[in-house]
Structure 1
Amino acid sequence: MKHFNILLFKFIVSLAVFWISLGLFFGGTFVEIISFSLLVTVISYFIGDLMILPQIGKTNAVVVDFFLTYTLVFLFGGIFFHSYLMIGWGSIISASLIAGSELFIHAYIMKNVKHTSRAKQRNFKPNFAFEFAEENEPDPNKDK
């Protein structure tokens, strides 16, 4: 049920973002806005939220979501739109607004959804990652 709520919230936010960035500024049709919202919601959720977020954290996952949204809108915008201005600026505006909303979505996910990969992950302490020592028996022929 939590996953459905997250998907629904992401879809509503994506719908609003694409309505602003593509519909309001560039006159995109309702079908284009719905298709981009659905595409970005599904791919961003499965790649960004389920696979990347538990591994690298909230901030880095927002950066990945920015580039993922930018790439998706840029690539599929070439199919739907015929203006390079609309594709370029629509991608940047959409990716920026989606990344801003993903901050709140990732905070909700980290707080309320337990990921299995996070539970199985060992604690990594970087203080003990490297060992520095001197040789016990240094070479007596070596000049210092």
Structure 2
Amino acid sequence: MRHLLALAIKFVMVAAVLLIVLTLIFDVSFVDTLLISLALTALSYAMGDIMIFLNAGRPENQSGRNTIATFVDFVMAFLTIWLIGWLLTGQNFEMVTPALVGALVLSAGEWFFHLYVDRSVVPEYNNYKSARS
């Protein structure tokens, strides 16, 4: 259940950022933005937040793990937004700037999302007391 809530929070964060950046600023269609958000949420939660963040170092080195996972999330977000945006819109080079801006903004949010994952989704990993306990 904690993972479902984390996925929902992440989707809202990703969709809000990408709707502002892609749809409002760069005129990507609403449906395309939601599809990119859905793909990016699933990919980055599984790889960036669970696999990489939890395994990038020792459990007590949260800052180091967070730095590595945030960098990986930036690269993954840029590539996902660019490639899926290119496939959906047919615009290759026109998607580079929106992908870069979106990935930068999302990376800032990812830093804080990793703190949430560490303390509320997998508190047993660091021996944190769960907020629900």
Task: State the TM-score bracket (shorter-chain normalisation).
Answer: 0.7 to 0.9
Cα RMSD of the aligned pairs, angstroms, is 1.6
Number of matched pairs? 118
Deviation at 1:86, TM superposition (A): 3.2
Q: What TM-score results when the alignment is normalised by the length of structure 2?
A: 0.82
2:104 matched to 1:89? Answer: no
4+ runs of 1 displaced by more than 3 Å? 82-86
Quote the residue 1:71 is aligned against. Answer: 79
Q: What TM-score results when the alignment is normalised by the length of structure 1?
A: 0.76
Judging by fraction of residues, say which structure has more helix.
2
Unaligned runs of 5+ in 2: 57-64, 127-133
Unaligned runs of 5+ in 1: 120-144
Q: Quick one: distance in 2 between partners of 1:44 and 1:20?
A: 19
Amino acid at match of 2:50: L
Q: Quick one: distance in 2 between partners of 1:10 and 1:86?
A: 26
Q: Quick one: distance in 1 between partners of 2:91 and 2:37?
A: 20
Q: Radius of gyration: which is bigger?
A: 1
SS of 2:4's equivalent in the other structure is: helix
Spell out the pairing of 1:1-144 with structure 2 (5 A cutoff).
1-56=1-56, 57-114=65-122, 118=125
Kept after mapping to 2: 8 A contact 1:62/1:103:
yes
Kept after mapping to 1: 8 A contact 2:19/2:33:
yes
